[in-house]
Amino acid sequence: MSFEIGHATHTGIKRDHNEDTYGVGENIWMVADGMGGHDHGELASAMARDSILHHYQSGESLKNCIIHSNQTIIDSSYERGGDLPMGTTVVILTVKGSKYYAAWVGDSRIYKLRNGKLSPVSTDHSYVQELVDQKLITEQQARTHPHRNVVTQALGVTDNSEIHISLSEGDLLSGDKFLLCSDGLTEEVEDSIIEEIMSKPIHPQEITDHLMVAALKGGGSDNITVLVIENKD
């Protein structure tokens, strides 16, 4: 398999530091959106990144990689007194043979673009997504709901006995493009615009740059992280 990638992260316009991070390994890509105030969110997302990449390259399954990273963040929080709990979302994409595998916790997202059509790979672990699933609000209402940023799952704040790790897999086709992003992108840019930008016949780094500009023009209210992968085989 041969892949081209683009990647970028930005503090945004209204935040004074960046709690997002992303990681790139051999056929593994991930984005993490930290939370916790001060430097704790940055620390949680960085620990998730380093732990997941390490354990994956050691042969662990995606689920076990997330479990290890969750425990690492929890242990670190206790060591620091636990007065400022820290957490992070995570989305991971891996490729083995002709299949892709995804895993996530929280509301960062993975999308797939195939034949010009954008579709979600992940489903948010969030309060508003639960309302949508119960048909209490529409997808459009969810975009402006006052509690749209409330996540129901995150690493570092939920014990491994209770954490919900979502998994997905599918066939990988030539020309497939994947987008991994924090909610700093999806808060500001509609899926239709993301689809339009992702469909452009340009390098993934240019796609990444266009998405970043769109998020900043949309308001840049949060940290923004974008990772685009294209299968060239």
Q: Which residue has the higher pLDDT, 226 or 134?
A: 226
DSSP assigned state of 151: B
The pTM of this model reads: 0.93
Convert the pLDDT of each residue in 91-112 to its tens digit: 999 999 999 999 999 999 999 9
* CA 221/CA 13 separation, integer angstroms: 6
Q: Which of 78, 34, 13 is nearest to 220 (CA)?
A: 13
Convert the pLDDT of each residue in 29-73 to its tens digit: 999 999 976 568 999 999 999 999 999 999 999 999 999 999 999
Domains of the chain: 3-231 (3.60.40.10)
Angle at 198 between CA 196 and CA 200, to 5 degrees: 75
pLDDT of 85: 74
Q: Which residue has the higher pLDDT, 224 or 85?
A: 224
Convert the pLDDT of each residue in 146-199 to its tens digit: 677 788 999 998 899 999 999 999 999 999 999 999 999 999 999 999 999 999
Tokens standing for residue 74: 């929890």
* CA 210/CA 162 separation, integer angstroms: 38
**Residue ranges of the alpha helices (H) in the chain?**
40-57, 62-79, 127-133, 139-144, 183-186, 191-198, 204-217
Q: How many residues are recorded in the chain?
A: 233
